[in-house]
Amino acid sequence: MNQSVKYTLLGFAFVLMLSCKASKSVYLFTSFHEPANEGLRFLYSDDAYHWTDLNHVFIKPEVGDAKIMRDPSIVQGPNGIYHLVWTTGWKDDKGIGYASSKDLIHWSAQQHLNVMEYEPTAVNAWAPELFYDGAADKFIIVWASTVPKRFAKGKEDENNNHRLYYTTTKDFKAFTATKLFLDPGFSVIDAEIVKRANNDYALVMKDNTRPNRNILMAFSNKPLGLYTNYTRRFTEMYSEGPTMTKAGNNWLIYYDSYRLKRYGAMRTADFKTFTDVSDSVSVPVGHKHGTILKVTKEQLGLLLKEAQLKNDRN
């Protein structure tokens, strides 16, 4: 094991014990590295601004023809089980990956959920995102797919004219029929639902049209919409993979600024004014599109221990 990594892990474990009384949870950022054939990685943070890589792959992709894992999204259900979905292929793949875990270390057998199999001409199923609807006690999976010649395409190629689709499930065994989630009138991908308050939901997404290719938001009183009141595009061009988390009284919107080769971040309290705080955050090099959840410090300790043990063996 690299000595600097070992000391970083041990040092954080010590800090973790000292700060346990002050805070009961930490932020966990799902991650992958290109070319996406290795699997699920994690970053962690105490403040949602400064991130450390656990430097370990916790589950390797086994389903889908391409055997890749992009855009990992994790949600913890009310029974404590973690549910993971991910992109399994760039194109010619109508399904997404799924697995579950009690501890984020030991995972169930992976499944390939063919969410777009009913559409014979569907090109893909990109960036699935999970949301748990507590009021309805069900999970919502939203992803982007292209169905050529289905929608007005503007400047888009027919094979890159995405809309958002969804399915719901209570147990990840039975799923409702896939339906259209959002047609905003332009190609849209990388959407994530966030609950701000009761009957108050925000949707962050990427406008994938030329020349925009940047981030905006819309709002609804229900997780499945109708989403309206679209914001302006508030990030630079060539931005994608947005995810949101609450940090104090503010919300942070992280995104991959892929032309600048860095992770950017916007801060907002009112979802009207967005302040660029990219220079105030630190995200490890190589990190790609994921989602942020909160876990207990005990859970993070287990992940740190697992990463250290595996790296010691290597």
Q: What is the pLDDT along the chain (314 residues), one digit of tens a residue?
A: 455 444 444 455 444 444 444 568 999 999 999 999 999 999 999 999 999 999 999 999 999 999 999 999 999 999 999 999 999 999 999 999 999 999 999 999 999 999 999 999 999 999 999 999 999 999 999 999 999 999 988 888 999 999 999 999 999 999 999 999 999 999 999 999 999 999 999 999 999 998 899 999 999 999 999 999 999 999 999 999 999 999 999 999 999 999 999 999 999 999 999 999 999 999 999 999 999 999 999 999 999 999 998 777 76
* pLDDT (0 to 100) of residue 225: 97
* pLDDT (0 to 100) of residue 53: 97
* pLDDT (0 to 100) of residue 23: 66
Domain tally for the chain? 1
Expressed as residue numbers, the domain containing 199 is 3-313
Please give the backbone phi and psi of residue 233, each rounded to the nearest 5 degrees, phi first: -75, 115
In 3D space, the residue among 192, 186, 194, 243 whose CA is nearest the CA of residue 213 turns out to be 186
Residues present in the chain in total: 314
* pLDDT (0 to 100) of residue 47: 98
* pLDDT (0 to 100) of residue 2: 54
CB atoms within 10 A of CB 174: 8
The CATH number covering residue 24 comes to 2.115.10.20
Q: How far apart are CA 228 and CA 244, in angstroms?
A: 18
Task: Identify residue 96 by its one-letter amino acid code.
Answer: I
Which distant-in-sequence residues (6+ apart) come within 8 Å of 213 by Cβ? 206, 207, 237, 238, 239, 240
Pick left, alpha or beta for residue 310 (phi over 0 → left; psi -120 to 50 → alpha; otherwise beta).
alpha
Instruction: For residue 246, give both structure tokens.
Output: 């609450």
In 3D space, the residue among 301, 259, 310 whose CA is nearest the CA of residue 14 turns out to be 301
Please give the backbone phi and psi of residue 240, each rounded to the nearest 5 degrees, phi first: -155, 180
C-alpha dihedral, 53 to 97 to 77 to 281, nearest 10°: 30
DSSP readout, 228-247? B-PPPP-S-SSEEEEEEEEE
* pLDDT (0 to 100) of residue 313: 72
